[in-house]
Amino acid sequence: MTATVLDGKATAAAIREDLRARVKALANRGRVPGLGTVLVGDDPGSRAYVDGKHRDCAEVGIASIRRDLPADATQQQVDEVVAELNADPACHGYIVQLPLPSQIDTQRVLEAVDPDKDADGLHPVNLGRLVLGYDGPLPCTPRGIVELLRRYDVPLRGANVTVIGRGTTVGRPLGLLLTRRSENATVTLCHTGTRDLAAHTRSADIVVAAAGVPGVLTADMIRPGAVIIDVGITRVVGEDGKGVYTGDVAPDVAEVAAALAPVPGGIGPMTRAMLLTNVVERAERL
């Protein structure tokens, strides 16, 4: 068996196309959605991700609001930029690119973001809304996973889903999303304290690998015909000495799985598309 590729790149492009039409409709009502980014420091990876978000905005017609601060920025400077974006009516949603430099208190910054402008959907208020089943911006990566599965007609209702990784951006909120009544999956959340990981992955219809450990999921750990979602993205040095992205899923998994969302080209592009979606939805609601 060679797994069908769940193509996040193509799916994200289709979503951006739909968003373009919605942004046009908003423009006809005199409203231009705006996405803000806050980047602190000069980490090339973070800069590339932020550049990508602004390229996406330009493609869809969303206005970009970019605030870049130096690596030695103070807590006060970051707090001021957050306060400015909270107050800016042209900014419908924004993100603070993570990780932040060590002198910055990340929790304090993220909690200062206006929850209604939290385009990442990761503010404690929004995670609380998710727990309670209230409306609010959904975390982009979990939302992207559910959307990709939906568009490929992978059934979730009653499915056994094993998630590897309990991080706050993917694993934990994904468990909440998948167990809503609208999805109705049964979720097993595995982590470093899990005793027999393979026993949990082998019994799953769908496995989501979000541990950030390259190759943690191998072919012998899955049921033939399972659907596999790779979320772990680690930059490693390839044989040619150049940097390449590798996922949590070993290459041999594609020989056993029915379908696979790969790294790169799977959930990463979907995450970016969901960020734009959160901003457009907020502009539509106002």
Ligand X SMILES: Nc1nc2c(c(=O)[nH]1)N[C@@H](CN(C=O)c1ccc(C(=O)N[C@@H](CCC(=O)O)C(=O)O)cc1)CN2
Is 269 a binding residue for ligand X by CB under 6 A? The answer is yes
Q: Per-residue b/e over 88-122, b at no fewer than 16 CB within 10 Å? A: eeebbbbbbbeebbeebeeeebbebbbbbbbbbbb
Phi and psi at 129, nearest 5°, equal: -60, -40
Task: Tell me how far apart the 2 most distant CA atoms of the chain are, in Å.
Answer: 56
Would you state the structure tokens that stand for residue 116, as one six-digit string? 């209604």
Helical axes 8-28 vs 140-151, angle rounded to 10°: 110
Smaller CB separation from ligand X, 201 or 271: 271
Closest residue to ligand X using C-beta atoms: 268
Question: How far is residue 89 from each of residues 63, 86, 119, 165, measured CA to CA in Å?
Answer: 12, 8, 15, 37
Q: Is 233 assigned to a binding site? A: yes
Span 120-179, contacts to ligand X by CB under 6 A: 120, 140-141, 169
Is 233 a binding residue for ligand X by CB under 6 A? The answer is yes
Smaller CB separation from ligand X, 159 or 249: 249
Is 263 a binding residue for ligand X by CB under 6 A? The answer is yes
Smaller CB separation from ligand X, 16 or 200: 16
Q: What ranges in the chain are assigned the alpha helix state H? A: 8-28, 44-60, 75-87, 106-112, 124-132, 140-151, 171-178, 197-202, 267-285
Is 274 a binding residue for ligand X by CB under 6 A? The answer is no
The piece of 72-80, 90-98, 146-154, 200-208 that touches ligand X (CB under 6 A) is 90-98
Catalytic residues: 53, 97, 120
Q: Is 30 assigned to a binding site? A: no
Sole binder of ligand X in the list 63, 98, 112, 197 (CB under 6 A): 98
Residue numbering of the annotated binding site for NADP(+): 165-167, 233
User: Footprint of ligand X on this chain (CB under 6 A)?
Assistant: 49, 52, 95-98, 120, 140-141, 169, 233, 245, 263-265, 268-269, 271-272
